[in-house]
Structure 1
Amino acid sequence: MTSMNVTGILSIERLKEQYAAGRLTPSVVIEGIVERSKADAAKNIWITPPSYEHIQPYLDRLSVLAPADAPLWGIPFAVKDNIDVAGLPTTAGCAEYAYIPAHHAAVVERLVEAGAIPVGKTNLDQFATGLVGTRSPYGETTNSLRPELISGGSSSGSAVAVARGHAAFSLGTDTAGSGRVPAALNGLVGFKPSIGAWPVKGVVPACESLDCVTVFAHSLEDVLAVDGVVRGAHASDPWSRSLPQPAAKLPAKLYLPSNRPSFYGSFADSYGKAWDAEVARLVKLEEQGGLGMQIEYIDDALFSEAAAVLYDGPWIAERWAEMEGFVESSSPGTVFPVTEQVLRSGNAESLTAASVFRAMHKLAQYKLEVRQLLEDAVLAMPTCGGTWTREEVRLNPIATNSAMGLYTNHCNLLDLCAVAIPAGEAEADLPFGITLFALAEEEGLVVGAASQVLGAEVSRGAGGTETVVLDRVLSVPIGKSATATTLVAVCGLHMRGFPLEKQMLGCEAVYIRTARSAAKYKLFKLLTEPAKPGMVRVHEEGSSIEVELWEMPLERFGEFVASIPAPLGIGKIELDDGSVVPGFVCEGYAVQEVEEITAAGGWRYV
């Protein structure tokens, strides 16, 4: 078996390129995934982990599928274990509830028909009841970056599987934020379509009238590739409806809360600063004419009031309506204790038929106001106002979980679509993210806005049609050592046209694209012969620096790193799209009393 880099990233786009070039095969990718899942067993990502026993038939089937006719040919994906995969147990996080479905859920069926490979069933907050990822008898799913922290729920395993390189994308579900919170806590994109846009046939219900199937991936383009396959009404699904594919377009307005959002937990201050920094960045873009949307500030109390209806109102009874029979017939301890407490709250005497109608009427008014407000506009909020250690959640399971839904609970009640996107870090290995919301059937607005916020180009073509051009490479392909590669970010004499480009070519590296770092670096002209740049990460007043991304075989990477003279070296470089790649960094002592050239924006312009 081949040893793999367990933090490598998989992406649909990159895998398709590798397959087409003959440098990688689906069987080699699966080999790496099986190894990674074993290495990460202590993270409690899987309930049914990747195994050749259930994956092999999907690999065999690829031989009769033409890649040109199967848009997701050979692409591995993970499935939250409240979504049916034929022949594998569906547990919903409860062994006693488990059953083995004869058929795939509708979304899984469409993905398999497109050539995608379901590699296993992921852990979740039991019965999709929670936003923390700790409410499972199969163990607490740890955060992909900092294991002492929560992973977010209920789609915990699905998010961490993608973040840890066990799948190119994964399916989750979202009733109150479960397709968005885990994305934010693990540095991913999480897409929640309009209710009914993706069929829910074959999904264990939480609140059936609000449930959505969602997707986690490393990039917006991968999300849209999945959407292009699974979207559409299903003849056997009464909740599904025919909604068009998102055509990316920029909204006229980007709304921000007029009152600074509340932040919570031990990381509240860091999260608050990350939000302030993202707002400042967006405002600066608008001032420079690079945002393409007018920023306006609004009172977000309406959304908070609507969010309160979900758990303070009668919708919690919908969960009880689904689970009452199982809970009441089960022996004590079958249902996770905090989960049973939440479910039984839906049986409160105050939740009468009259209370249901009062809540429906109140919500109808909220929806009307939101439809008027968000016409040709999107709303940006923090995806989460903080996070917790797993120990903190154990000590206070209800309050910590409730806090995680502060900026998510309103979404499905108000019939909105949403995309959660990375927005840098609150601290080292502590991702921060924002969510963009738009009206149902207006996914094109959140796609266009997200593309712009992430740094892609959104241009207006002939006839006023907007086209999104996404420019990023976010993958480290896996495979046998002969084909395994890594990205390397270079910022000086190793770039194309400079004297040390020959070292890159000598190590069989291939130029991929020009990119920019996150705005967290300064550049200095070192006192070397010849002169070289030194790129240093700083805590304050950093800028974005132009770099080149090269792809280098891993078997040549070691000798390349060894050849780099001090004070330079290879560290981790954060790019402006939130991804992190190996790249040139400089030791701090070498930039004392030398010329700072940050303002140039890159060595090529010095």
Structure 2
Amino acid sequence: MIVVQIPKRLSIEKLREMYADKECTPKEVITEIINRSQADTHMNIWITPPSMDIIQPYLDRLEKKNPLDAPLWGIPFAIKDNIDMAGIPTTVGCPEYAYIPETHATVVERLVEAGAIPIGKTNLDQFATGLVGVRSPYGETHNALRPELISGGSSSGSAVAVARGHAAFSLGTDTAGSGRVPASLNNIVGYKPSLGAWPVKGVVPACASLDCVTVFAQSMDDTLIVDQIARGFDENDQWSKSIHSPTPELPKKIYLPIEPIHFFGPYADAYKKAWESSIEKIKTMNIPIEYIDTQLFSEIAAILYDGPWIAERWSEIGPFIESHPPHTAFPITEKVLRLGSGSTYSAASVFEAMHKIQSARHQTKKRLEEAVLVMPTVGGTWMREQVREDPIETNSQMGYYTNHCNLLDLSAVALPSGFAEEDTPFGITFFARSDSESLICGLGDLYVNQISSSTKNNTLLVSVCGLHMRGYPLEKQMHEFGATFIREDVTAPNYQMIKLPTVPPKPGLIKRQNGGASIHVEIWEMPIEKLGELVASIPSPLGFGKIELQSGKEVSGFICEAFAASTSQDITELGSWHNLVVHGDR
């Protein structure tokens, strides 16, 4: 019996390859997704979780579609539960609000027509009001890497579903940063198109004038594949615009904040170091950099919640809250929304804010001509318990570098940028004008496509899994060879890890045709000219070859000859050399 190996991290490109090579079927992928979602039930990712009852009709439809004519044939995706999926309740994170739509939201319909499979509805901060992922009666969505940390909101479930391998991509929404913050905290890509580029028909409004549908995925390439399908004018959507799909281009200039970046929470110092490391990577891209005052963006960001724009949220949800018994809404959500219900803001204050925003848009449009602004995606993260204790201030700080985006009519992409601490991702965001999305796509591709950029810089990516990792005795050797730590990753799920009987013990990775597991590795970038020295230092039975990562991509790295398994301890179940150390063996 052949056991189908479904990658832990799902991607559009990898699934396309597997379908074309007859390695698996969409039904087998869906079966694995259902198993994963059931195993992660405690993480509160789903409101309507994947089930064969929901998904089978979409599998049946695939039989009538030619994969060559359906660019997303068999690709599973998740839907934030403020976006309509026909026949499935839309709750917006509030059971009493729920209704069952007869039709899909426009973006869902387009994806389904392209062959994609909607698998369920994900958890969110209620009424899409929050950036923390803990404001839901359906439970606090856990972070994909560290369950005690927040997952980010409001599109919490959508981001974690992708990060945990429940979907190849997912739909979120973004008003204040909800399509970017969860991406950063869960180490994935979050793409926010320009206002109106993707239709919002069938989306429950938060702030209708600012709302965007967004996509979460494992890579820039995947987000742009989805963009090609979802984008386009919808004559039945009053907010829809005709904005062409971006063709990746590089900007002529990169802007960075001239003032010190403020970081918050228990990981502020680690975030600061990760930001500094990100800047160093940006400097290697050979694009002119200029430092500018970003105070204007902070002033505009404050208008979203500390100004009259909060009244737009109340105008959308307030009538429901007022017509239902007390405490129908999540307490902190209602408290935030009611800020827009009283007499705090006059009609004159609304126009003052509109004029200030218009002036800022004019300045920003001139400033960002042929340029991209780079900022941290978030200013820190917190334990979920800490956010419960201080829900307003922590949420405000999460939006410090995001809230300005839609008010200024910018496009944005949030990208992983290493780790602040172990299993604590850090991310940066590229911003461009609404008519210059191509610039964030081109720059984003250059930043995250390490293999491509490494080749241009005469470097290559190297995978290490043992004593060459950070904090171990041979880390210094990596630095001596001019290597730079890039990120943590895991292998494809078909590797055996053994403990070689050497002094000191070393791990060996053996790729298996059957069995095995995903093994934790570190990815470093090393000058090609130093590779010979590294390879020459490797003792038998270790060697140097290609390591397949969970994403399906291959990098160079340490491998081991299979014969060594017979005289070594199998430690595959530990999943990481770190775990051997935890158990007292170093």
TM over 0.5: yes
TM-score tier by shorter-chain length is 0.7 to 0.9
Equivalence for 2:565:
563
1:124-523 matches, within 5 Å, as 124-283=124-283, 285=284, 291-455=285-449, 486=493, 507=513, 517-519=523-525
Equivalence for 1:495:
none
Q: Which amino acid in structure 2 is aligned with residue 260 of structure 1?
A: P
Equivalence for 2:548:
549
Identity %: 56
Q: Which amino acid in structure 1 is aligned with residue 310 of structure 2?
A: I
Q: CA deviation at 1:486?
A: 2.7
TM-score, normalized by length of structure 2?
Answer: 0.82
Instruction: Quickly say closer, same or farther: Cα 1:551–1:245, change in 2 above 3 A.
Output: closer
Q: Say if 2:496 and 2:509, in contact at 8 Å, map to a contact too.
A: no
Instruction: Quickly say closer, same or farther: Cα 1:379–1:195, change in 2 above 3 A.
Output: same
Secondary structure of the structure 1 residue equivalent to 2:548: strand
Instruction: Quickly say closer, same or farther: Cα 1:455–1:325, change in 2 above 3 A.
Output: same
Q: CA deviation at 1:8?
A: 1.1
Q: CA deviation at 1:282?
A: 2.0
In structure 1, C-alpha distance between the alignment counterparts of 2:496 and 2:367, rounded to whole Å: 43
Instruction: Quickly say closer, same or farther: Cα 1:340–1:530, change in 2 above 3 A.
Output: closer
Q: Say if 1:488 and 1:550, in contact at 8 Å, map to a contact too.
A: no
Deviations 1:141-168 (A, max 9, x none): 0000111010000000000001111000
TM-score, normalized by length of structure 1?
Answer: 0.79
Q: CA deviation at 1:5?
A: 9.1
Q: Say if 1:570 and 1:583, in contact at 8 Å, map to a contact too.
A: no
Q: CA deviation at 1:116?
A: 0.4
In structure 1, C-alpha distance between the alignment counterparts of 2:6 and 2:25, rounded to whole Å: 18
Instruction: Quickly say closer, same or farther: Cα 1:88–1:564, change in 2 above 3 A.
Output: farther
Instruction: Quickly say closer, same or farther: Cα 1:527–1:230, change in 2 above 3 A.
Output: closer
Deviations 1:72-105 (A, max 9, x none): 0000000000000000000000000000000000
Secondary structure of the structure 2 residue equivalent to 1:563: helix
Q: CA RMSD in A?
A: 3.6
Instruction: Quickly say closer, same or farther: Cα 1:457–1:371, change in 2 above 3 A.
Output: farther
Please state if 1:75 is matched with 2:109. no
Deviations 1:33-66 (A, max 9, x none): 1111110000000000001111000000000000
**Mind listing any 5+ residue stretches in structure 1 that lack a counterpart?**
286-290, 460-470, 473-483, 491-500, 510-514, 535-545, 573-580, 593-606
Q: Which amino acid in structure 1 is aligned with residue 54 of structure 2?
A: H
Instruction: Quickly say closer, same or farther: Cα 1:529–1:246, change in 2 above 3 A.
Output: closer
Instruction: Quickly say closer, same or farther: Cα 1:552–1:520, change in 2 above 3 A.
Output: closer
Equivalence for 2:483:
none
Q: Say if 1:525 and 1:531, in contact at 8 Å, map to a contact too.
A: no
Deviations 1:379-431 (A, max 9, x none): 00000110010100110100011110000000000000000000000000001
Secondary structure of the structure 2 residue equivalent to 1:197: coil
Q: Which amino acid in structure 1 is aligned with residue 141 of structure 2?
A: T
Instruction: Quickly say closer, same or farther: Cα 1:377–1:571, change in 2 above 3 A.
Output: farther
In structure 2, C-alpha distance between the alignment counterparts of 1:348 and 1:520, rounded to whole Å: 59
Equivalence for 2:500:
none
In structure 2, C-alpha distance between the alignment counterparts of 1:508 and 1:502, rounded to whole Å: 14
Q: Say if 1:78 and 1:158, in contact at 8 Å, map to a contact too.
A: yes
Q: CA deviation at 1:360?
A: 0.6
Q: Which amino acid in structure 2 is aligned with residue 563 of structure 1?
A: A
In structure 2, C-alpha distance between the alignment counterparts of 1:133 and 1:337, rounded to whole Å: 14
In structure 2, C-alpha distance between the alignment counterparts of 1:416 and 1:67, rounded to whole Å: 35
In structure 2, C-alpha distance between the alignment counterparts of 1:445 and 1:487, rounded to whole Å: 38
Equivalence for 1:39:
39
Q: Which amino acid in structure 2 is aligned with residue 42 of structure 1?
A: H
Instruction: Quickly say closer, same or farther: Cα 1:9–1:232, change in 2 above 3 A.
Output: same
Secondary structure of the structure 1 residue equivalent to 2:375: strand
Q: Which amino acid in structure 2 is aligned with residue 357 of structure 1?
A: F
Q: Say if 2:542 and 2:560, in contact at 8 Å, map to a contact too.
A: no
Q: CA deviation at 1:348?
A: 2.9
Instruction: Quickly say closer, same or farther: Cα 1:235–1:456, change in 2 above 3 A.
Output: farther
Secondary structure of the structure 1 residue equivalent to 2:82: coil
In structure 1, C-alpha distance between the alignment counterparts of 2:58 and 2:7, rounded to whole Å: 25
Secondary structure of the structure 2 residue equivalent to 1:77: strand
**Mind listing any 5+ residue stretches in structure 2 that lack a counterpart?**
454-459, 462-490, 498-507, 516-520, 553-558
Q: Say if 1:77 and 1:169, in contact at 8 Å, map to a contact too.
A: yes
